[in-house]
Structure formats: structure tokens, C-alpha cells
Structure 1
Amino acid sequence: MDGVGQKIKARKGETAHRKTLKKRHNHYFLYALLAPALILTIIFKYVPMYGAVIAFKDFSPLKGIMRSDWVGFKYFEKFLNSPNFTDIFTNTISLSLFGLICSFPIPIILALMLNQVRQAKIKKNVQLILYAPNFISVVVIVGMLFIFLSPVGPINQLVSAIFGQPLMFMSEPGYFRSIYILSGIWQGAGWSSIIYVAALAGVDPELHNAASLDGANIFQRILHIDLPTIRPIMAIVFILAAGGIMSIGFEKAYLMQTSMNLPSSEIISTYVYKVGLQAGDYSYSAAVGLFNSVINVFLLVAVNFVVKKLNEGEGLY
């Protein structure tokens, strides 16, 4: 009987293997479509990771990566012990954290509001207005900020009329964080709401009709129908945003920097640019960048773990 059982198991295994091969053969076109993206990801994302080794070496362009002297954690210790570390790290964390807290709910609210607009023409026009700022260059956005918030700009003309003197919005460190976050919300909230609008479009209208017949008002329908529908997407978006909390945009922060607001505008990405490309200290800048990446990975894993506990096991992975 044991021999017969083994033969049956062997035949089942061969059958399963043939089915697997057949499925792969039937989907070869899909694998062919996936191949270019996979190859590009490996070439431009994984292969360059080798360059991170210069963070542990006293890198010299003349010697190259392999022949440069190994120094271990020298540059990590240099950054952690530098007088600028506390300010740079605090600015990066606070700017990212407050930006996440303030900007995360706005796209959800916009999507829920758009979902209640029944006239298609009005809805399309509103969406066009909300999505348009996303297509404006960061350079143009910052230029607009300097124009509108300058001492002779339209906003300061109103401020001067009320308080008697203009406010130095772009040079006062205390205003930098608010301007950065609010301008980011204005630029990206509409575009970020697309994923929620798409998810809400799949909600069965019969659920809302049934809830209305049962006496549920608009807020109750949103709470018990719309929000549960987009909750998994909210969890994934939040995890990804929290995982990249240390990787705030370099371009905007650097363009908004002035010599006066530097105490609150210097973040890790701008610091890496200055010590790496401008000062030519490649090993030190690589160490700072790697330190930033490690914290991002830790935050991604930690936030995903917490969200899975709070969201009934649903997370990014």
C-alpha cells in the first residue's frame, strides 16, 4: 500500500507541475510585458546600491571605490557628533511629521466631498481646478510664494493695512514650516485624492439608497459606507507616507531657503547636497544619506506593524 500511495503522490506532483508550466506558458505575454520594468528597476535601483559602500570608505575619485581606504563608521560618528545634527534632524522630523498629519486627511475629505456631487459637469470642473496645481513646477510654486509673500506683495499689503507693517514671511524662521506645509497641501491634495475618488466610484449606489430609506443622513452614510470602502487604501497610503517621512522633497526646501530662515529650513537632503556636491565630501554625504535611508526603512516596518494591528491584519505586506 505504501508503494501505491507514493505512486499516487508522485503522479499528483507531476500533474501539479504540468499545470504550473502550462499556466506560465499561457501567460508568457504578461511576463514579457513585466520584463522591461523589472530590468530597469534592477539596473537603476539595485545596481547603484553598490555605491553606498563609499559611506564606509575614505572615498577618492582618483582611487575609485575599490581602492579607497576602509574607515568603517567614521563618517556616521562624524555626523552624529556634529553641532548641526540636532537642528537638521529635528527640522527634518518636524517638517515631515507635521506635513503628514496636516496633509493626509485633506485628500480623503476632498474625495468624500467630490463623491457627493451628482452633476457630472460640475464635478469635472471642480476636479480640474483641484488637480491643476499638481502640474505646476516646484520652481514656479516657490517663485509664486516669494512674489505673493514679499514685503511689497499682495498679502503683505493687506497685512500692512491691518497691522501697520509687513511680515517677513520668507526670511523669518518661524514661518517657514507653515508656508512649506500649506503650499504643499494646496499643490498636491487634489491630485492625491484621485485614488480615493476611484475607490469610491466602485461603491454600489444601492447601499446608499438602502441607507437613505432606513433614515441614515449623509454623514452616517459616509461613516458606515464610504469610509469602510477606502479604509484599506488609507492604510497603505499612510504606511508609504510614514515610511518616507525622512525623505521630504529636496527641491522645494532648497529653493525656499534663505540665509535668514536657515535655522528651520536646513534638512538632511539639503545638507547632503551641500556637503556632497558643493563641498565634495562624498563619503560623508553618503553616510548621511544612508543614515536617512535606514531610518526610513525602520519607520516603514514599524508603521506597517502598528497599522496591521489596528486594521485587522491589513497592511502593506
Structure 2
Amino acid sequence: MRSFTKGIYRNDVKLLWLLALPGILHFVVFKYIPMFGNVIAFQNYNIFQGVFESPWVGWFHFERMFLYPEFYEILKNTLVISFYSIVFGFPAPLVLALLLNELRQSWIKRPVQTLLYLPHFLSWVIVGGIFTQLLNPTGVVNKLLASYGIERIDFLTNPDTFVGMIVSLGIWKEVGWGMIIYLAALAGINPNLYEAAMVDGANRWRRMWHITLPSLLPSIVVLFLLRIGNLLDANVEQMLVFMNPLVRDVGEVIDTYVYSVGLLSAQFSYTTAIGLFKSVIGIALVVGLNQLSRKTTGESIY
């Protein structure tokens, strides 16, 4: 009987590995093998000579990156947009999930949840076309402001409002999708905890503060660390859709700079060096904050 059980277990393990094989191959082929291409950051890469015959230049491209006069302005723009996106965008899905969790009428809860995560499935080209029409000086929003005697606001070409618009649209588009993760975590909380708290006289606020949030802490920590790891990443598609020369001083970020220099000017080694710089910063942030989170909250991603 024991040998029969071991045989079933071994077959199940083999089956699980077989099911996981496509995912493993995907990561190996498209994630790990391309990492060897980072070597061109230390070369003067030529597509005709290839990786093995292109001349080595050492740290030249990294020096060029840091000596570029506008690089620090671009880095500042990236950090500003990412900072506002994290400060205002990261808590938004959690707050929405907590509010929806308090709704008891499912006929309201389900349609609202669907409407909130529906924008995630729209491309930035579609979103850009819609909001360009809504926010331009003759659009619906400015006509509404003018009807109340408020001066028209040029959202799309005014540097003072561009960053706020970009951050707000990013939150609006992705907040519902992030909310789903927290709703799934909320569904896994033991309802007996809430019943015991109600017997002890805890109101909704107390139950949320002492049961819901502590139960969500592992999910919050993991999502926050993953978000911090992408601190230097900006949604290049969104920025390219809304970018224009009048707001380039505040809207030019690392990804759009890499796009213009790397793809349009074919400076592959230089842009690879920039990408490698971003990756090193992201890894350092994740590792450092992961250690800090483990010591302070006891939660970490590894």
C-alpha cells in the first residue's frame, strides 16, 4: 500500500512539473536568456558585428549617461511622477476594496466592481483619444468650468497641470484592477474573526482596523515592494500618447528618452546602459526595503 501511494505521489509530482514546464520555458527563454544581452552596455555594439565581435568600451556609456546635461532633469521627472503615483495610486485600490467589502447589497457591489476595473482593458491610445477631447480648451470639461465662471484650464499643454493629469489618469485606469487582488485577499479572511469581534461589541471601524488591515498586511507589503521595484519605470505608452513639446520639460522621463534615443537613433549600447542602471536601482530598492519590512512588520517577499 505504501509503495502504491508513493507511486501516485511521484506521478502527481511529474504531472505538476509537466504543467509548469511551459511557464518555466517562457521565463527561461524570454526573461533569463535575454539578460546576457546586457553585455552590450559595455560595448560599442554594432548589429553587423554582433555581441562577440563588437569592440569593448567599458564604462563609457555609463559615464556618458551621467554626464548628459539633461539626464538629471529626466531622472527628476521620472521620480516625481513615480512618487505621486505611489503616494496617491498605491492606497487607492486598498481603499476601494475596503469600501466595496462593506457593501452588503450584491446587486450594487458587482456592477460597481465591473465598472471600476473595465478601464484596465482599454489601451492608452483609446484613453488618450477620449481624454484629449475631454480636456482640451474647447472640450467638455472646460465648457463645464466656463459655465460656472471658472477660467478654462489647459490640461494638456500646461506644465503645471500635466503631471497631475498623468498621475490621475494612471490611477483611474488601473485602480480597479489592483482592487481585485485585495478583494481576493479579503475573501480569504476567516469570518469567525468578525463574528467574535461583533460579540465583543466592535463596530465596523474597529473590525476593519484590528482584523481586516492586519489580515491584508502580507498582500500590502508584497504589492508595495513590487511597486517600489518599478520606481524608475514610467508608463511609456501613456507618456507617448500625451507628450507634446510644451510639456517636455516636466514630461520627459527615462522611458521616453530611451525610446527616442534607442529606437529612433539606434544607440543600442547607450540605452542598454540606461536600462541596466534602472534594473540595479530597482533591485537595490527591493532588497533594502524587503529587509526593512521583515524587521519592522515581519512580512517580506522572500
What TM-score, normalized to structure 2? Answer: 0.94
Question: What is the aligned partner in structure 2 of residue 216 from structure 1?
Answer: 202
**RMSD of aligned C-alpha atoms?**
1.7
Once the two structures are TM-superposed, the CA of residue 223 in structure 1 deviates from its matched residue by: 0.4
CA distance in structure 2 between the partners assigned to 1:99 and 1:58 by the alignment: 36
Task: Decide whether the 8 Å contact of 1:57 with 1:283 is kept in 2.
Answer: yes
- Confirm or deny that 1:289 pairs with 2:275: yes
Question: Of 110, 113, 125, which aligns to 1:139?
Answer: 125
Question: What is the aligned partner in structure 2 of residue 188 from structure 1?
Answer: 174
Aligned amino acid, residue 199 of structure 1: A
Question: What is the aligned partner in structure 1 of residue 260 from structure 2?
Answer: 274
Question: What is the aligned partner in structure 1 of residue 187 from structure 2?
Answer: 201
My pick for the range that moved more, 196-205 or 263-272, is: 196-205
Question: What is the aligned partner in structure 2 of residue 4 from structure 1?
Answer: none
Question: Of 272, 290, 294, which aligns to 1:308?
Answer: 294
Aligned amino acid, residue 212 of structure 2: D
Question: Of 152, 171, 185, which aligns to 2:138?
Answer: 152
Once the two structures are TM-superposed, the CA of residue 201 in structure 1 deviates from its matched residue by: 1.2
Aligned amino acid, residue 93 of structure 1: L
- Confirm or deny that 1:81 pairs with 2:67: yes
Aligned amino acid, residue 55 of structure 1: A
My pick for the range that moved more, 198-207 or 76-85, is: 198-207
- After superposition, residues 1-317 of structure 1 pair within 5 angstroms as 23-163=9-149, 165-312=151-298, 314-317=299-302
C-alpha spacing 1:231/1:164, structure 2 compared with 1 (3 Å): closer
CA distance in structure 2 between the partners assigned to 1:288 and 1:204 by the alignment: 47
CA distance in structure 2 between the partners assigned to 1:20 and 1:79 by the alignment: 58
CA distance in structure 1 between the partners assigned to 2:173 and 2:48 by the alignment: 44
Once the two structures are TM-superposed, the CA of residue 24 in structure 1 deviates from its matched residue by: 4.4
CA distance in structure 2 between the partners assigned to 1:274 and 1:259 by the alignment: 14
Once the two structures are TM-superposed, the CA of residue 25 in structure 1 deviates from its matched residue by: 4.5
CA distance in structure 1 between the partners assigned to 2:108 and 2:135 by the alignment: 32
CA distance in structure 2 between the partners assigned to 1:117 and 1:92 by the alignment: 38
CA distance in structure 2 between the partners assigned to 1:175 and 1:20 by the alignment: 65
Report the secondary structure of 1:305's partner residue.
helix
My pick for the range that moved more, 129-138 or 232-241, is: 129-138
Report the secondary structure of 1:92's partner residue.
helix
Once the two structures are TM-superposed, the CA of residue 159 in structure 1 deviates from its matched residue by: 2.8
Task: Decide whether the 8 Å contact of 1:276 with 1:284 is kept in 2.
Answer: yes
Report the secondary structure of 1:237's partner residue.
helix
Question: What is the aligned partner in structure 2 of residue 8 from structure 1?
Answer: none
CA distance in structure 2 between the partners assigned to 1:20 and 1:298 by the alignment: 43
C-alpha spacing 1:72/1:21, structure 2 compared with 1 (3 Å): farther
My pick for the range that moved more, 117-126 or 274-283, is: 117-126
- Structure 1: segments with no counterpart, 5+ residues: 1-18
C-alpha spacing 1:164/1:63, structure 2 compared with 1 (3 Å): same
Aligned amino acid, residue 71 of structure 1: V
Report the secondary structure of 1:260's partner residue.
helix
Task: Decide whether the 8 Å contact of 1:151 with 1:167 is kept in 2.
Answer: yes
Once the two structures are TM-superposed, the CA of residue 245 in structure 1 deviates from its matched residue by: 1.1
What TM-score, normalized to structure 1? Answer: 0.90
My pick for the range that moved more, 236-245 or 164-173, is: 164-173
Report the secondary structure of 2:245's partner residue.
coil
Aligned amino acid, residue 121 of structure 1: W
**Number of equivalences:** 298
Report the secondary structure of 1:72's partner residue.
coil
